[in-house]
Amino acid sequence: MRRLALALSLLPFLAQAQSAQGYVYEDTNNNGRRDASERGLRGIKVSDQTRITTTDASGKWTLPASDDAIYFVIKPRGYRTKMGEHNLPHFYYVHKPNGSPTGTKYEGVRPTGPLPASIDFPLYKQEEPTKFKAIMFADPQPRDVREVEYVTHDVVEKLIGTDAAFGVTLGDIAFDNLETFGPQNAAIGLIGIPWYNVIGNHDINLDAPDDHHSDETFNRVFGPAYYSFDYGPTHFIVLDDVEFLGQGKGYRGGIGAQQMQWIKDDIALVPQNQLVVLMMHIPLVNVADRQDLYRLIEQRPNVISVSGHTHYQEHIFITEKDGWKGIKPHHHTVNVTVSGSWWQGSPNELGIPHTTMRDGAPNGYSVFTFDGTKYSIEFRAAGSPDTHQMNIYAPEEAARADAATVPVTVNVFGGSERSVVEVRLNDGAWVKMDKVLKPDPKYAEAVARDAQLQRPFRPLPAPMQSPHLWEVPLASLFGAALPYWGSHTIEVRETDMFGKVHTSKRIIRLT
């Protein structure tokens, strides 16, 4: 009987040992500690990357305990989470009592010790309007601190003081050298807004034994490799779509069964009409198990996705040709990269490689504007005014008699198949340009020119078929009357898929 009584007395402690628990609360005095006077918040979602629960009336949550787990709060609208060093949101607790496996080149998670009696997540009230902006970086990808300085001077400095609500790096934060996480975080943190991070194929421990353990350094610095949060009326889901195949075996685009189930559970808690934004590294069309993801999102009316990885800019509209069964095509953006062509190419006057991307677009970033279920995207070229949205290619001079064979070509950096691109000569009639698939002519010239230089720099990659070029013969701009000899203005305007108009001009001489 005494043994039975002892066993019964230990049941509450055994149950507690088998559970992780804590509170989500409003930290009104901003001290990062739950005080007796601070109320718990009801109905807040908390996850361990396997399950999702919600807090009770007192703000308490409970999930099964594990010796290898990351517990995190799913940030609700109208609150921010605790901010860590360099404006990195600290919304998680990593629990690995024995730490990460040893033997990898880059340090993983240090031993965390026993499970805390209460894992508490503070939240802080903030205004979150329906309309807001977010900055999207793809692939800053510095090899070393020198290239972190390229990121800093080419992109970060311009963004200090931005009115965007937050920023996201869409993977390849580093270029295999995970020691660059620290100095780059310090630079990006100076922008002054919360900065979220997606894991990329160059952000993993390549000497890890398997996919699960390849994320350990990322976990130490940034937290979970997949998670979600709300800002305003928009729900953001960060995905880990890099499936590491083992040492020496490379990787592929993949999500996996556990994460797929978590996505299903997460999105089931999001109202059907709410805008959902999926953020990943490898483009969705290159993910092996994307059909399973399609089934989770294709019946929702407002879902978009964005990635990096390929080092060119493209808008993809996924249709039934790729197995999509939604009512309308799914819009996936392959975002412009901060590093352009991997920081390659001859240096500019500041000593930074011009690193033009293979599609002929400059390196840079995107500004996403969200407004309820609507959104728009704008390209931003590094080191250039916001109005720099295209390059116009035409000869310096052309004979009027040869105009039928002289092309006017335009590279609209953020253009898509839904863009309308028009051109005119002086104040003549607007002429619609034809979308073409070919290499950017000036980029091809730059590749050839760099190849002739004695260079201490890495040469540019070969040109690709650019997905955002338009072209017409010069003669099509003449109209009924031939223009006079001398200098004339070629003006191009693009009306993008969001109805925004961008213009640019170039002067040509007719002989």
Q: What is the pLDDT of residue 401?
A: 86
Sign of CA dihedral 26, 28, 29, 30: positive
429: Cβ–Cβ under 8 A, 6 or more apart, which residues?
A: 479
pLDDT in tens, 284-326: 999 999 999 999 999 999 999 999 999 999 999 999 999 999 9
All domains in the chain, ordered by first residue: 21-63+78-123 (no CATH), 136-381 (3.60.21.10), 390-510 (2.60.40.10)
Integer Cα distance of 318 and 336 in angstroms? 19
State residue 18's pLDDT score: 83
pLDDT, tens only, 39-82: 999 999 999 999 999 999 999 999 999 999 999 999 999 999 99
Residue 257: both structure tokens together = 């069964």
Q: Which residues of the chain have pLDDT under 70?
A: 1-17, 454, 480
* CA angle at 110 for the pair 107 and 113, rounded to the nearest 5°: 165
**DSSP letter, residue 75:** B
3-state secondary structure of 486: strand
CA–CA distance, 473 with 300 (Å, rounded to integer): 43
Q: Residues 217-256, buried b or exposed e (16+ Cβ, 10 A)?
A: bbbbbbbbbbbbbbbbbbbbbbbbbbbbeeeeeebebbbb
Q: How high does pLDDT run on average in the chain?
A: 94
Provide the terminal-to-terminal Cα distance of the chain, rounded to the nearest Å: 110
Nearest 5°: phi and psi at 97?
Answer: -50, -35
CB-based contact 442:495 (threshold 8 Å): no
From the list 456, 342, 464, 466, the residue with the least C-alpha distance to 411 is 466
What's the pLDDT at 59?
98
